[in-house]
Chain A
Amino acid sequence: MSNTHDEQRTPVAITTATADDPHMQPLARNPERTERIIALMMLVGLVGFIGFGIAYWYNADAWVYGATIGAGAVFLGVGITAWGKYLMPKGPFVEERHDMAGTAEEREAFAAAVVQRGGGVLGRRKLLLGTAGAGLGVFGAVSLFPLIRSLGPLPGKTLTETDWKKGSYLVDQTGRPIKTSDIAVGGVVTVFPKGYQDTENGQAVDQTILIRLSTVDLTTRKGRENWSPAGYVAYSKLCTHLGCPVGLYEQQLQLLVCPCHQSMFNVADGGYPTFGPAPRPLPQLPLYVDGRGYLRARAGFDQPVGPGYWERS
Chain B
Amino acid sequence: MTTTASTPSSKETKKEAFGPVGKILGELDDRLGVAKGGRSLMDKIFPDHWSFMLGEIALYSFVILLATGVFLTLFYVPSQTIVVYHGSYAPLRGQHVTQAFASSIDLSFEVRCGMLMRQMHHWACDIFVGAIVIHMARVFFTGAFRKPRELNYTIGVILLILAIGNGFVGYSLPDDLVSGTGLRIAFSITESVPVVGSYLAFFLFGGNFPGTAIIPRFFIIHVLIIPLIILGLVSAHLFLLVRQKHTQFPGKGRTEKNVVGAPMIPVFAAKATGFLFIVMGVTALLGALAQINPIWLFGPYDASRISYAVQPDWYMGWLDGALRIWPAWQLQAFGHNIPLEVFLPAAVLPGVVFGICLAWPALERVVTKDNAIHNLLDFPRNRPRRTAAGAVMLSFLMMLFIASSTDVLANYFKISLNLMLWSMRILVFLIPIITYPIALLICKELQNSPEGGKRKRANVVLRSAEGAYTTVQAESRPGDGHEELAAEPVPTFIDLDEDDGAESADGGVRRVER
Report yes or no: A202 in contact with B274, Cβ–Cβ below 8 A: no
Q: How many residues of B contact A (CB 8 A)?
A: 138
* Contacts A22-B507, A201-B208 given; does A243 touch B259 at CB 8 Å: no
Partner of B267, one of A16, A17, A88, A245: A88
Report yes or no: A81 in contact with B271, Cβ–Cβ below 8 A: yes
CA distance A96 to B256 in the complex (A): 9
Contacts of B261 in A (CB 8 A): 91-93
Closest to B268 in A: A84
Report yes or no: B508 in contact with A18, Cβ–Cβ below 8 A: yes
Q: Mark B404-419, 1 if CB is under 8 A from A, else 0.
A: 0011000000000110
Contacts of B329 in A (CB 8 A): 279
Q: B30 an interface residue at 8 Å Cβ cutoff?
A: no
Contacts of A78 in B (CB 8 A): 274, 278
Q: Mark A265-292, 1 if CB is under 8 A from B, else 0.
A: 0000000010111111000000000000
Q: Mark A250-278, 1 if CB is under 8 A from B, else 0.
A: 00000000011111000000000101111
Q: How many residues of A contact B (CB 8 A)?
A: 104
Report yes or no: B40 in contact with A9, Cβ–Cβ below 8 A: yes
Partner of B328, one of A71, A76, A77, A279: A279
Interface residues of B in 263-311 (CB under 8 A from A): 263, 266-271, 273-289, 302-310
Report yes or no: B491 in contact with A24, Cβ–Cβ below 8 A: yes
Partner of A310, one of B39, B195, B303, B508: B195
* Contacts A148-B203, A260-B306 given; does A276 touch B511 at CB 8 Å: no
Q: B385 an interface residue at 8 Å Cβ cutoff?
A: no
User: Nearest Cβ distance between residue A119 and chain B, in whole angstroms?
Assistant: 23
Contacts of A6 in B (CB 8 A): 36
CA distance A259 to B273 in the complex (A): 46
Q: A12 an interface residue at 8 Å Cβ cutoff?
A: yes
Most buried by B among A12, A82, A155: A155
Q: A66 an interface residue at 8 Å Cβ cutoff?
A: yes
Interface residues of A in 191-236 (CB under 8 A from B): 200-205, 207
Interface residues of A in 1-57 (CB under 8 A from B): 6, 9-24, 27-29, 56
Contacts of A142 in B (CB 8 A): none
Contacts of B188 in A (CB 8 A): 241-243, 306-307
Q: A237 an interface residue at 8 Å Cβ cutoff?
A: yes
Q: A100 an interface residue at 8 Å Cβ cutoff?
A: yes
User: Nearest Cβ distance between residue B482 and chain A, in whole angstroms?
Assistant: 5
CA distance A158 to B267 in the complex (A): 63
Closest to B282 in A: A74
User: Nearest Cβ distance between residue B117 and chain A, in whole angstroms?
Assistant: 9
Q: A308 an interface residue at 8 Å Cβ cutoff?
A: yes
CA distance A154 to B453 in the complex (A): 61
Partner of B285, one of A74, A84, A201: A74
Report yes or no: A83 in contact with B270, Cβ–Cβ below 8 A: yes
Partner of A77, one of B37, B275, B341, B510: B275
Q: A59 an interface residue at 8 Å Cβ cutoff?
A: yes
Interface residues of A in 79-133 (CB under 8 A from B): 79-86, 88-97, 100
Contacts of A151 in B (CB 8 A): 203-204, 206
CA distance A24 to B418 in the complex (A): 66
User: Nearest Cβ distance between residue A8 and chain B, in whole angstroms?
Assistant: 11
Closest to A204 in B: B303
Report yes or no: A242 in contact with B189, Cβ–Cβ below 8 A: yes
* Contacts A18-B500, A23-B488 given; does A97 touch B204 at CB 8 Å: no
Contacts of B513 in A (CB 8 A): 12-14
Contacts of A247 in B (CB 8 A): 304-306
Report yes or no: A173 in contact with B244, Cβ–Cβ below 8 A: no
Report yes or no: A72 in contact with B281, Cβ–Cβ below 8 A: yes
Report yes or no: A13 in contact with B489, Cβ–Cβ below 8 A: yes
Report yes or no: A190 in contact with B304, Cβ–Cβ below 8 A: yes
Report yes or no: B185 in contact with A260, Cβ–Cβ below 8 A: yes
Report yes or no: B281 in contact with A276, Cβ–Cβ below 8 A: no
Q: A183 an interface residue at 8 Å Cβ cutoff?
A: no
Report yes or no: A18 in contact with B198, Cβ–Cβ below 8 A: no
Partner of A84, one of B195, B208, B266, B305: B266
Contacts of B201 in A (CB 8 A): 155, 309
Closest to A12 in B: B514
Interface residues of chain A, those whose CB is within 8 Å of chain B, are 6, 9-24, 27-29, 56, 59, 62-67, 69-86, 88-97, 100, 148-149, 151-155, 158-159, 173, 190, 200-205, 207, 237, 241-248, 259-263, 273, 275-280, 306-313
Q: List 7 A-B contacts (CB under 8 A).
A: A70-B288, A73-B284, A77-B279, A85-B267, A93-B490, A248-B308, A280-B330
Interface residues of chain B, those whose CB is within 8 Å of chain A, are 3-5, 36-37, 39-40, 43-45, 48, 112-113, 115-116, 119-120, 148, 181, 184-185, 187-189, 191-199, 201-210, 213, 243-245, 253, 256-263, 266-271, 273-289, 302-310, 320, 323-330, 335-339, 341-342, 375, 406-407, 417-418, 421, 475, 478-479, 481-482, 485, 487-498, 500-501, 507-514
6 further interface pairs, Cβ-Cβ under 8 Å (given A21-B509, A155-B198) = A10-B39, A14-B5, A15-B512, A70-B286, A77-B279, A81-B271
Closest 5 CB pairs of A and B: A66-B288, A84-B270, A81-B274, A77-B277, A70-B284
